[in-house]
């Protein structure tokens, strides 16, 4: 089957160069690459497009309710003036 892909120039050049190094046509190289990609087990996590350093952000979002509770306790504790603090 014939199809057309719009590839970035750099990707095309690298694929063509690697195919040449292996001594195979670009068509065969691309076919093998696609077969390898689609033959991976379906439960294999897909690579994330987000940078590695971003993965930790939002990791504690499930503690939002606890955070509000602690803030409430702190606000309540500071609303009262202790007798020894009165002058």
Angle ∠(45,2,35) on CA atoms, nearest 5: 30
What is the residue range of 4's domain? Answer: 1-41
Confidence of residue 86 (pLDDT cuts 50, 70, 90): low
Please report whether residue 5 resides in a domain.
yes
Q: Is residue 24 part of a domain?
A: yes
On whether residue 9 sits in a domain, the answer given is yes
Percent of the chain having pLDDT more than 90?
36
**Residue 63 has what pLDDT?**
77
Task: Give the model confidence (pLDDT) of 28-62 as tens digits.
Answer: 999 999 999 888 777 766 666 766 666 666 666 67
Residue 75 lies in a domain: no
How far apart, in whole angstroms, are the C-alpha atoms of residue 34 and residue 32? 5
Q: How far apart are CA 42 and CA 46, in angstroms?
A: 9
How many domains is the chain built from? 1
Q: Which of 33, 36, 1 shows the shortest CA–CA distance to 14?
A: 33
């Amino acid at each position: 089957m014939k199809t057309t892909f719009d590839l970035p120039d750099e990707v095309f050049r690298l694929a063509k160069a690697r195919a040449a190094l292996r001594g195979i046509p670009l068509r065969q190289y691309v076919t093998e690459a696609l077969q390898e990609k689609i033959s991976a087990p379906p439960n294999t996590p897909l690579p994330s497009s987000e940078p590695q350093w971003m993965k930790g952000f939002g990791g504690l979002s499930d503690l939002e309710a606890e955070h509000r509770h602690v803030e409430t306790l702190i606000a309540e504790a500071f609303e009262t003036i202790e007798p020894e603090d009165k002058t």
